[in-house]
């Protein structure tokens, strides 16, 4: 069986040829079956690969959940060790090949009410975002907008 692009090229060449319309029609009829069969095979591949991609996404989600559970367990064990060391009054301990040291906690600032802060302690962020929908309407209406242009995307397939 031919490749899809080969069938499409043959079809295009046939349409540009100087053959009689009856001959073109007969040849196209024969090619159309092969073309349809090839499309059907490719659609089956899409269906299989889509299912595989979904299963991989589910597996990734499951692995991320398991990693979070394990990380929580690690954090819990570390907190348990730290509280045990504090309870016995030790800052350092050597256990086999490991050495554990309790570090001083870091100081962090907790903002309780950002609206009550004096202006000298507030930073402002300005985000500039283009209104693409408004720009699109203006460009379609024939109005030139510097820094913007209409771009035609790729056609997409609808598979039913």
The DSSP line for 69-127 is HHHHHHHHHHHHHHHHHHHHT-SEEEETTEEEEPPPPPP----S-GGGS-GGG------
Beta bridge partners of 114: none
95 DSSP β-pair partners: 98
Average pLDDT over residues 44-72: 96
* pLDDT tops 90 at residue 42: no
How many domains is the chain partitioned into structurally? 1
The pLDDT, as a whole number, for residue 146 is 93
Q: pLDDT band at residue 36, thresholds of 50, 70 and 90?
A: confident
Would the pLDDT of 32 be above 80? no
In a domain, 157, yes or no: no
For residue 158, the model assigns a pLDDT of 73
Quick check: 1 pLDDT over 70?
no
Confidence label for 139 from pLDDT (cuts 50, 70 and 90): very high
48, part of any domain: yes
Q: Are strands 98-101 and 92-95 parallel, antiparallel or unpaired?
A: antiparallel
Q: How far apart are the first and last CA of the chain?
A: 25
Only one residue has tokens 């079956």, namely 33
Residue 23 has pLDDT above 90, yes or no: no
Query: d(Cα 160, Cα 79) in Å, to the nearest integer?
Result: 55
74 domain-assigned = yes
Query: What are the pLDDT digits (tens) for 63-112?
Result: 999 999 999 999 999 999 999 999 999 999 999 999 999 988 889 999 99
Domain that holds residue 64: 4-104
Q: Is residue 95 part of a domain?
A: yes
13 lies in some domain: yes
For residues 12 and 4, what is the distance between their CA atoms, to the nearest angstrom?
12
> What is the chain's mean pLDDT, rounded?
88
86 within domain boundaries? yes
Residue 123 resides in a domain: no
């Amino acid at each position: 069986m031919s490749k899809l692009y080969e069938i499409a090229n043959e079809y295009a060449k046939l349409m540009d040829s100087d053959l009689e319309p009856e001959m073109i029609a007969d040849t196209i009829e024969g090619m159309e079956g092969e073309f349809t069969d090839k499309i059907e095979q490719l659609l089956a591949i899409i269906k299989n690969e889509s299912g595989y991609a979904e299963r991989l996404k589910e597996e990734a989600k499951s692995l991320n959940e398991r990693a979070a559970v394990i990380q929580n367990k690690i954090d819990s064990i570390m907190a348990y060790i730290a509280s045990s060391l504090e309870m016995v009054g030790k800052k350092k301990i050597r256990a086999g090949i490991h050495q554990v040291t309790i570090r001083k906690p870091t100081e962090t600032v907790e903002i309780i009410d950002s609206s009550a802060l004096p202006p000298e302690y507030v930073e402002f962020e300005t985000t500039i975002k283009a209104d693409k929908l408004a720009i699109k309407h203006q460009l379609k209406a024939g109005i030139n907008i510097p820094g913007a242009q209409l771009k035609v995307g790729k056609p997409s397939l609808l598979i039913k």
